[in-house]
Amino acid sequence: MMRTDAIAIVDYGAGNLRSVVHAVAHAGLQAVVTDDPAVIRNAPGVILPGVGAAADTMANLRSRDLVGVVHDVIAASTPFLGVCMGMQALFTVSEEGGRHGCLDAFPGTVRRFSPGLSIPHMGWNRVHQVRPHPIWDGIDDGAHFYFVHSYFVDPGDETIVIGATDYGVRFPAVIARGSVVATQCHPEKSAAPGLRLYANFGRIVRGTLPSGVPASEEVA
């Protein structure tokens, strides 16, 4: 298959991708919604969106033979953006509705917020830019993003966290490592800062923005 210019938005049958498609288009990115492993493997960038439960997400990815594809595009250093469940699924295990093995691209456990908080964590909250990253270009530190989730990522390696949000605990709102960026918040529902994040991802895909922070600038 020819390599195309269109970013692949992975459609694994999990709800509505329309808002991601609209936001991506509005940010000036060319994208295609697909569950075709060949299209995804050959895309210059991949977005893994998602709403719903962890177990369903993994079942859907498995039934469409997409688990290996996600691992391969990450291993190939293809720019990759996970959103919400598309972030949680990258970790080792999710405690949502039992214990479900996930993609294990990064070590970590997906845990439920503690009782006593209003759950889901639904609404606009600040994302603190705790580590530098090109994806933050033009986005204010502490900008509000829209969240709706009941579980959060507890990563095995704290240094992958580039954006953090406080809700009872301080949890990872955005993680990044290598060519991967993943957000717990929904940039497609986060007005101007969210659209900027998609635009920045587009620039990373086109190579006009680096995909990560040079090692010399990494914050220890």
Interaction between residue 28 and other proteins (CB under 8 A)? no
Q: Is 188 a catalytic residue?
A: yes
Interaction between residue 50 and other proteins (CB under 8 A)? no
What is the rounded end-to-end Cα distance, in angstroms, of the chain?
41
With CB under 8 A as the contact rule, the residue among 42, 55, 130, 146 that binds other proteins is 146
1 and 34 Cβ atoms separated by less than 8 Å: no
Q: Which amino acid appears at position 4 of this protein?
A: T
186 and 144 Cβ atoms separated by less than 8 Å: no
> Of 139, 117, 150, 145, which is closest to residue 200 (Cα–Cα)?
139
Q: Is 71 a catalytic residue?
A: no
- The distance of closest approach from Cβ of residue 169 to other proteins in the complex, given in angstroms and rounded to an integer, is 13
Distance CA 88, CA 18 (A): 20
> Of 14, 15, 8, which is closest to residue 63 (Cα–Cα)?
14
- The distance of closest approach from Cβ of residue 105 to other proteins in the complex, given in angstroms and rounded to an integer, is 23
Interaction between residue 122 and other proteins (CB under 8 A)? yes
In the complex with other proteins, which residue's Cβ is closer, 163 or 194? 194
Candidates 84, 96, 100, 133; catalytic one: 84
Of 29-37, 68-76, 113-121, 156-164: span binding other proteins (CB under 8 A): 113-121
Of 30-38, 39-47, 99-107, 144-152: span binding other proteins (CB under 8 A): 144-152
212, 206, 153, 219 alpha-carbon torsion, rounded to 10°: 10
Of 30-38, 129-137, 182-190, 207-215: span binding other proteins (CB under 8 A): 182-190
Q: Is 84 a catalytic residue?
A: yes
Interaction between residue 170 and other proteins (CB under 8 A)? no
Q: Please compute, for residue 99, the number of CA atoms within 13 A of its CA located in the half-sphere on the CB side.
A: 4
My answer on whether omega of the bond before 134 falls inside 30° of 0, hence cis, is: no
Write out the residues near other proteins by the rule CB under 8 A.
Answer: 15-16, 18-19, 22-23, 26, 51-53, 115, 117-126, 144, 146, 148-150, 166-167, 188-192, 194-195
